[in-house]
Amino acid sequence: MIVIDHLTKRFGKHTVLNNLSLEFRPGTVTAIIGPNGSGKSTLMKCILGLVKPTEGSVVINGFNALTDVRCHADIGYMAQIARYPDNLKAREVIDMVKGLRERTADTSDTLINAFDLKPHLNKPMRTLSGGTRQKVGAVVALMFSPHSLLLDEPTAGLDPVASQQMKDQIEAAKIRGAAVIITSHIIAEIEELADRAVFLHEGMVIHEGSVSSIRQQLEVLR
């Protein structure tokens, strides 16, 4: 459960998020959509504690997400562009995150198999292709079966097989009862995955509802 209450973020005079209030419930996949610069990324980063909001609060499973890093133990995040330390091996990146979470029970082996990462585990990250790195990112985000899952363009850069695998994982997370937030530009993908969509424009929610209603909204905008 992620609760966002009156969230505002200003960079200087520029207001990126304008008094947003949103809830993301367990067992629901929410898609955040909107044009470039509408505040999608900033919203995600606020939830993740990467950006400190000017006003408002973010509460994740009862933890104040803005001050308490413990809530990160139950969040999985997959960035849009995955860049990792050049000289670490894929295996080490995964191990490192495990170490930071101080949790041993995880599904990384299953995920590594699912994404067919085994042949790449002992290669340095800098030698891996963008797609492969993205897969490492997916493993890192998913391996602890978190109750909150934030995925920034999760299928971008993935090959069709991995893309399908990703979608299956999202579906599984939803069934498990996770609150899933995705951003995507691919309407078909949103329709396929999301239960609900939030349309952002200039830092404000201009529409919130089922995916089909968003589609209508988009056609209106066009």
Contact footprint for other proteins (CB under 8 A): 11, 45, 48-52, 69-73, 75, 77, 79, 81-88, 92, 96-97, 99-102, 124, 137, 140
Report the nearest approach of other proteins to the CB of residue 211 (Å).
27
Report the nearest approach of other proteins to the CB of residue 66 (Å).
12
Residue type, 203: G
Report the nearest approach of other proteins to the CB of residue 47 (Å).
10
CB nearer to other proteins: pick between 81 and 172: 81
Instruction: Give 182's strand partners.
Output: 31, 151
CB nearer to other proteins: pick between 98 and 215: 98
Report the nearest approach of other proteins to the CB of residue 99 (Å).
4
Contact (Cβ atoms closer than 8 angstroms) between residue 31 and residue 25: no
CB nearer to other proteins: pick between 47 and 197: 47
CB nearer to other proteins: pick between 34 and 53: 53
Report the nearest approach of other proteins to the CB of residue 42 (Å).
8
Residue type, 193: L
**For residues 119 and 63, what is the distance between their CA atoms, to the nearest angstrom?**
39
CB nearer to other proteins: pick between 89 and 207: 89
Q: Where are the alpha helices (DSSP H) in 102-144?
A: 108-114, 130-142
Contact (Cβ atoms closer than 8 angstroms) between residue 39 and residue 19: no
The C-alpha torsion from 32 through 38 and 42 to 47, rounded to 10°, is -30
Length of the chain: 222
